[in-house]
């Protein structure tokens, strides 16, 4: 996806439909702990892209030679090409001290924000709009870049924009990074047991 | 949703289509760190429901009186009524030591599993099948109940089954627990600033 952006910037009507779908995600205790920061300032996009490029080099250098060769041609971001970044953030204090359903599993707050991201992703795809999630960044850098206040945590940078085409096979499978796991290995019956798969 | 299950157990073809949609979620480094344990044994369902009932009481007792009254009529699970539990688990070691995209933001592994849950939820909805996420449980109890091995972490119990109807308004809004936040408050432009909303 990250190689397919046309450079045409998403119109605001489509953008808002996609954000509305994200905002309709279910959330623990109906806490709706997410926010969306739309970034289009070329200076901000360029600064973030430069930071991500550094992190890409660091990761490449951490790999054994065979993995480094596989990694080399894989494009990991389309920050400037897409022209629109959506930073999704999480506020763990939203909803106050008594969040219905979060007392036993506190992480369900953060999980809710991730559900909104997948809603966004699927709504964009339904609109013919491409999404690429960039995770090669240090959180403090992004926090400073878009002035996140204390308590608001960055969760994702999504590159969102018009694309030439949707690939049928995920990039990391096409480039030989990692294969698809068969569904039958992921499904278990009654108990978790590797040999109970369908 | 949790009050609407008809008691009719989901057929296996529909179940597998829903799990296939979940399994097609994007994941960091294509690591596909999720598993799905389908639970239908009446004894297991009953034991889990009893545990959840205890946790419901604990939560109710922790609330100030006004909140406790609002909470009282809200149904929080449909474990036995739905007849099918899907436990979604996360394996943070899947994909080995070099996961593309996880070096800087380690939580993206767990985030991937949550993306699969939202795929599952939307696929079920598209099939006319109801889903209710139960989070009133202690993780060690669920781990033991379905024999999760070390390193496999429970992330969600989803009640999945035929429903009488889909509510238009979320339960927690209908019962006055918590209102919907306007989209314009969640959207920011260029920087995070409460007064920069659309």
Q: Distance from CA of residue B18 to its chain's centroid? A: 14
CB distance B190–A41 less than 8 Å? yes
Residue-level pLDDT at A196: 46
Joined tokens for residue A79: 């920050």
Q: How far is CA B8 from CA A120, B4, B45, B84, in A?
A: 32, 11, 15, 10
Residue-level pLDDT at B1: 65
Q: Name the residue among A44, A122, A147 with its Cβ closest to that of B193.
A: A147
Q: Name the residue among B38, B98, B115 with its Cβ closest to that of A114.
A: B115
Within 8 A of A159 by CB-CB distance, chain B residues are: none
pLDDT tens-digit map of B7-63:
999 999 999 999 999 999 999 999 999 999 999 999 999 999 999 999 999 999 999
Q: Name the residue among B34, B138, B190 with its Cβ closest to that of A186.
A: B34
Give the SS3 label for residue A90.
strand
Residue-level pLDDT at B194: 65
CB distance B172–A30 less than 8 Å? yes
Tell me how many degrees the CA angle A80-A114-B18 measures, rounded to the nearest 5. Answer: 110
Q: What is the DSSP string of A118-164?
A: HHHHHHHHHTTEEEEEE--S-HHHHHHHTTPPTTEEEEEEEEEEEBS
Tell me how many degrees the CA angle A90-A94-A95 measures, rounded to the nearest 5. Answer: 140
DSSP code at position A80: H
Q: How far is CA A45 from CA A5, A178, B123, in A?
A: 15, 29, 34
Q: Name the residue among B26, B76, B170 with its Cβ closest to that of A30.
A: B170
Residues B114, A109: contact at Cβ < 8 Å?
no
- Residue B177 φ/ψ region, left for φ over 0, alpha for ψ in the -120 to 50 degree band, beta for the rest: alpha
- Reported as half-sphere exposure (CB side, CA atoms, 13 A), residue A74 has a value of 25
pLDDT tens-digit map of A128-150:
999 999 999 999 999 999 999 99
Q: How far is CA A24 from CA A19, A134, A176, in A?
A: 9, 23, 36
Q: CA of A42: which chain B residue's CA is closest? A: B190
CB distance B183–A19 less than 8 Å? yes
Give the SS3 label for residue A178.
coil
Whether A15 shows a pLDDT value over 90: the answer reads yes
Is the ipTM beyond the 0.90 threshold? yes
CB distance B119–A118 less than 8 Å? yes
Strand partners, B38: A189, B86
Q: How far is CA A100 from CA B55, B59, B91, B124, in A?
A: 11, 8, 27, 24
For the segment B154-174, the average pLDDT, to the nearest whole number, is 95
> B71-89 burial by CB neighbour count: b if 16+ within 10 A, else e?
beebebbbbbbbbbbbbbb
How would you list the strands of the sheet with B85-91, edge to edge? A187-189, B34-39, B85-91, B152-162, B129-134
Residue bearing the bigger pLDDT, B152 or A195: B152
Distance CA B13, CA B4 (A): 22
CB distance B136–A102 less than 8 Å? no
pLDDT band at B133 (very low <50, low <70, confident <90, very high): very high
For the segment B97-107, the average pLDDT, to the nearest whole number, is 95
Percent of all residues in chain B with a pLDDT value above 90, rounded to a whole number: 93
Distance CA A59, CA A68 (A): 9
For the segment B157-171, the average pLDDT, to the nearest whole number, is 94
- Could you tell me which CATH number the domain at B12-186 has? 3.40.109.10
Within 8 A of B193 by CB-CB distance, chain A residues are: 147
CB distance A137–B105 less than 8 Å? yes
CB distance B137–A105 less than 8 Å? yes
The domains of chain A are located at 12-186
Distance CA B33, CA B109 (A): 7
Residue-level pLDDT at B101: 95
């Amino acid at each position: 996806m990250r190689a397919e952006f046309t450079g045409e910037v998403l119109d605001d009507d489509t953008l808002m439909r996609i954000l509305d779908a994200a905002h309709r995600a279910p959330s623990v205790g109906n806490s709706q702990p997410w926010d969306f920061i739309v970034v289009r300032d070329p200076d901000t996009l360029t600064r973030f892209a430069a930071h991500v490029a550094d992190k890409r080099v660091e990761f490449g250098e951490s790999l054994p030679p065979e993995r480094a060769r596989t990694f080399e041609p894989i494009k990991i971001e389309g920050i400037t090409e897409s022209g629109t970044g959506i930073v999704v953030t999480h506020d763990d204090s939203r909803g106050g001290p008594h969040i219905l359903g979060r007392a036993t599993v506190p992480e369900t707050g953060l999980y809710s924000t991730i559900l909104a991201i997948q809603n966004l992703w699927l709504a964009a795809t339904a609109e013919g709009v491409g999404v690429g999630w960039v995770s090669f960044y240090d959180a403090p850098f992004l926090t400073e870049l878009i002035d996140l206040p204390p308590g608001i945590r960055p969760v994702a940078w999504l590159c969102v924009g018009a694309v030439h085409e949707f690939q049928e096979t995920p990039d990391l499978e096409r480039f030989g990074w990692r294969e698809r796991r068969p569904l039958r290995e992921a499904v278990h019956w009654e108990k978790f047991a590797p040999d109970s798969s369908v």
